[in-house]
Amino acid sequence: MNKIRHIAFGYSTRCNIKCDHCVAADDKSPNAKMPFDTAKAIIEEMAGCNVTGISFTAGEPLLFLNDINHLIGMCRKHGIYSRVVTNGHWAGNRQRSDNMVSELRQSGLSQLRISCSRWHQKNIDRENIVNAVSSCKKYGLDYFISFVTDFSKQDDAFEQFLRDNSFKFFPEPLIYSGRAKGFNGSGVFTDYPPNLCAMNPYLTPELDMFACCDAGTHFTETGFFYLGNHKDHSIDELLQKKEKNILYDLIRTMGLTNMASYIGFKASEIVKYRKCQLCEKLFNSAGNLRVLENSVKSGLINWTR
Ligand code: SF4
Ligand code: SF4
């Protein structure tokens, strides 16, 4: 079972831009925010149950800079690795960028994850990325750029920009969920990838916890990834629910491809789905979920080479 306890912490879903591809924003509650005192109590609770990494995410966390700085400071006090995911709106000039990064560094932030894509950059100037990275280097703050892409030719210029600047970046596949659900993705060729997933839980501002921090929060037909609400369960109870679920563990270790094959998906069909789409076929369908749940302790768990 996965005992690594890393959390995606959704302090607020509020964002100052509206990317066309956003999977995180829930249009029903775009401005939800966790009460600050609740967030502080939850970080204390997480520290007491072996959470070792917290990624502040959801909307744009740095819209609440004072609060986030305080929460980062609590993480530092408890030896919890902290990361902030940001769109870099605050890096419009060198001075503002330096001020922000030095403040985050002083609070104890471990790493900054800066989003970059052709969708983000409709709202945020590319120069902000340059300023933000420059400030990270100046103040010794670890960073990386999350380069969200659908692998189309349109993104080549963005990748070249990142390469030309020698930035540390990692391509992140666009997730066809949330606002990107209707996007038309095609033209990607791969072999037969295992489709593993790290399975880091996501805590929403409303204190709901999900076993998946991305598209799985939208699996409303079965609620497969929903673990419960913190008003009814402790953080430890919610995390234990995640850790005791064999199917979640198999997503992490066996991968979705083998699970799909096990229940009868043809290989030629499996390769047509992206990871989260395949996941949705398996777990947001009551019928498929029932088959997987019924077979998890017998055939499925032994479906290995
Ligand atoms: S910056 Fe992030 S949270 Fe905000 S709209 Fe864009 S993808 Fe969504
Ligand atoms: S593949 Fe499934 S578990 Fe992984 S991010 Fe997508 S929806 Fe979540």
- Domain containing 30 — which CATH number? 3.20.20.70
Same domain, 110 and 184: yes
190 vs 80, 151, 270, 277, CA distance in Å?
Answer: 37, 12, 11, 15
* Helix (H) or strand (E) segment spanning residue 172: strand 169-173
Helices of type H across 49-125 = 65-77, 94-107
Q: Torsion over CA of 206, 201, 21 and 83, rounded to 10 degrees? A: 90
pLDDT in tens, 236-294: 999 999 999 999 999 999 999 999 999 999 999 999 999 999 999 999 999 999 999 99
Output the pLDDT for position 298.
Answer: 86
Taking the CA of residue 283 as reference, the ligand 2 atom at the shortest distance is 2
Closest Cα to atom 3 of ligand 2: 212
The domain in which residue 260 lies consists of 248-302
Same domain, 176 and 281: no
Output the pLDDT for position 1.
Answer: 44
Task: Note whether residue 173 is domain-resident.
Answer: yes
Q: pTM, whole model, 2 decimals?
A: 0.94
Out of 12, 16, 120, 146, mutate this one to test ligand 1's pocket (max ligand atoms within 8 Å of CB): namely: 120
The answer to whether the CB of 180 is under 6 A from ligand 2 is no
Same domain, 102 and 175: yes
Same domain, 181 and 252: no
CB atoms within 10 A of CB 201: 24
Task: Measure 108 CA to ligand 2 centroid, in angstroms.
Answer: 30
Same domain, 38 and 172: yes
Number of structural domains (the chain) is 2
Output the pLDDT for position 57.
Answer: 94
